[in-house]
Structure 1
Amino acid sequence: MTDVEEELEHHRVALTGYCYRMLGSGFEAEDAVQETFVRAWRTYDPARGGLRPWLFHLATNVCFDMLRGPQRRARAMDLGPAATPGDALGEPLPESRWVQPVPDARVLDPAELAVTRETIRLAFVAALQHLPPRQRAVLILRDVLKWSAAETATLLSTTVASVNSTLQRARAKLPPAGEADETVDESLLARYVSAFERYDVTALVALLHEDATSSMPPFAWWLRGREHIRTVLTAAAASGDAPCAGSRLLPARANGSPAFGQYLNGEPFALVVLDVAGGRIAGETTYLDPGLFPFFGLPMSFAAPLRTG
């Protein structure tokens, strides 16, 4: 690896985190970073300044190009009201409609103190997608990455006054993303895994926040409330049609949150991302996409004895 390649790699995680917040997709973020590196190879001139600002300038332009379409990525909760138990799932929506999960290791740099887990959570990234691309970039640069107004103005080829005005508008438009626990009780996760794998509805529901949400991209169908979730799980068990019964879970990390690869009959089935708040599970997003498993370093087959504890 050449010195230039090593220097570019030094910025990969920070750039991927920035592009992910801009685009709402880990795969697209990595594509954007690769394109940024290609442009940097062609255009970087040390006489014009440091490499880091130039890389973020290029990455911003790449993201702007990728965001020219009219449709934004979202969570199920952004697309319509909660379903009622018994409602049909409906038709699946294309991948391009969803805020996608991303592995922590690809976007969270332990050395970057300005970047916290809170700013990579699914709810925050989904909230960012409500903003126009330029406002999104300014808010991420100023409030997440802690760039100064002058640095941001230089990157965007504008004025400090314009940056401050744009930031004010972005903050006013940004929907509240909710709070999550900074640290998660490992015993809570252990109880969740045990209840999930045994399909113990009573034990599983007992771990949920009263106002918990449950969603399953690519379907816009979602539930709000512990009792509605209990009703759906109980009905599935009673009918003998409980597709998650007999699952096995392998731990992962996604968006600063605990996550699990879910396997059925030893085959990858879904990636489950949890939001934990107040010592309970406040949200469960189940991505029915086995194609995410390699991205998260999860094996494409897994068989293990059922946990009984």
Structure 2
Amino acid sequence: MTVDFTALAERHRAELHAHCYRMLGSVHDADDAVQDTLVRAWRGVDGLTDPAAARAWLYRIATNVCLTELTRRKSRVLPHDFSPAAERGTPPGAPVAETVWIEPYPDADVAPGRAGPEASYDRLESVELAFVAALQHLAPQQRAALILREVLGFSARETAELLDTTVASVNSAVQRARAAVAKRVPDRSQQATLRALGDTALQELIERYVDAWERCDVDAFTALLVEDASFAMPPLRTWYAPRDVIAEWAREFSLNGAWRWRTRLVRANGQPALAFYAWDDAAAGYLPFALNVLTLRDGLVSDVTAFIVRSTEPADPEAYVRYPEQAMDARQGGLFARFGLPDTLPADA
């Protein structure tokens, strides 16, 4: 039977991409892994005699591609796992030149619902920042086994076949991975938190958060944070916690009046996210600065992960550290475009 490979690839491309993102923690690495997967699949498609087995066959290839990639490099992390929180009064500092950071993932690229009846995680739960970060701490085989079983809903037998191992080994790997992940993720997922909060309360929280930043009101901003909140800014290793330390940092560096901010609301990793634009005199407009992914708890913001996308200066050059352009991850420049965001906002935005 002849397989329409183009149709097959397009039918599964999005879910394969999300799978590779969970495995690798990087949108760009997932791009490369999916491309490699589809090239290998195209070369071997004549051996696919049962169309019903196509999905498992593609996942086998994609998983092996990711496992091979993981032998070549370290797992990606968030700043919380890279270094301790900054001491009080520490300036933001320079970026880490090495590409080590987990990247944000657009909700628009994730199919809704569960992948199968045996899946333990909703697909959006399985790309939440805390979950993806926890996955990166697992051994690659454990990571693959957990994702195949609990996210994608493959049976233990199917997972064993995909990983060329035994059912007993899969069950053992999943049990260990489950326990390890549970230690690193909150008791309640962001999906459950958002459902409990409700759309109206979420909208009000976001509006207050945006208003505080656009007015450079430190007290209003920090009033929206839980007491043990954190604020991280990859590719910088520096991150701040708890709330009173964040307030000092914001007052000195980001909400000191030297910056003019505008925002656009998006969704990333199953969580609300704000695209921050900073005023640029030369451009006479607002240019992309950072994508802030918000983690919520108890009706407030518990963690902010601000993925910085460019180097810039405020009106007062001494008010903030200028990031060395050569140390930035050049691929971050396309982050806003990935989320369908404009590359500039007009002066009257």
* TM-score greater than 0.5 by the shorter chain: yes
Contact 1:248 1:304 in 2 (8 A): no
Structure 1 residues 201 and 12: alpha-carbon distance in aligned structure 2, compared to 1, 3 A threshold:
same
The match for 1:158 is 165
Partner of 2:136: 129
Shift of 1:111: 6.9
**What secondary structure does 1:213 align onto?**
strand
1:229 aligns with 2:232: no
The whole-number CA distance in structure 2 between the counterparts of 1:55 and 1:221 is 39
Aligned residue number for residue 266 of structure 2: 252
Aligned to 2:231: 214
Gaps of 5+ in 2: 280-285, 311-332
Provide the aligned C-alpha RMSD in A.
Answer: 2.1
**SS in structure 1 opposite 2:294?**
strand
Tell me the equivalent position of 1:182. 194
Residue type at the aligned position of 1:38: V
C-alpha distance in structure 2 between counterparts of 1:293 and 1:250, whole Å: 10
> Would you say the 8 A contact 2:295–2:304 is kept in 1?
yes
TM-score under structure 1 length normalisation: 0.91
Identity between Structure 1 and Structure 2 (%): 45
**Corresponding residue of 1:43:** 44
Tell me the residue number matched to 2:58. Answer: 55
Question: Within 2, Cα distance between the matches of 1:228 and 1:55?
Answer: 48
Conserved 8 A contact 1:95-1:218: no
Moved more, 204-213 or 103-112: 103-112
Query: Structure 1 residue 228: deviation in Å?
Result: 1.1
Matched pairs, number: 302
> 1:30 and 1:235 mapped to 2: Cα distance?
38
Do the aligned partners of 1:272 and 1:285 also contact (CA within 8 Å) in 2?
yes
Greater shift in the superposed pair: 45-54 or 194-203: 45-54
Find out whether 1:194 has 2:211 as its counterpart: yes
| Deviation (angstroms), 1:237 | 7.1
SS at match of 1:50: helix
Is residue 287–residue 345 contact of structure 2 (8 Å, CA) maintained in 1? yes
3-state SS of 1:293 partner: helix
* Aligned residue runs from structure 1 range 1-309, under 5 A: 3-44=4-45, 45-47=47-49, 50-94=53-97, 96-110=99-113, 112=115, 114=119, 115-174=122-181, 175-178=183-186, 179=188, 180=190, 181-183=193-195, 185-236=202-253, 240=256, 242=257, 245-265=259-279, 266-290=286-310, 291=333, 292-303=335-346, 305=348
Name which of structure 1's ranges 284-293 and 42-51 shifts more when overlaid on structure 2: 42-51
* Structure 2 length-normalised TM: 0.81
| Offset of residue 98 of structure 1 | 0.4
Retained in 2: the 8 A contact 1:13–1:109? no
Secondary structure of the corresponding residue to residue 182 of structure 1:
helix
- Counterpart CA distance in 2 for 1:171 and 1:237 is 39
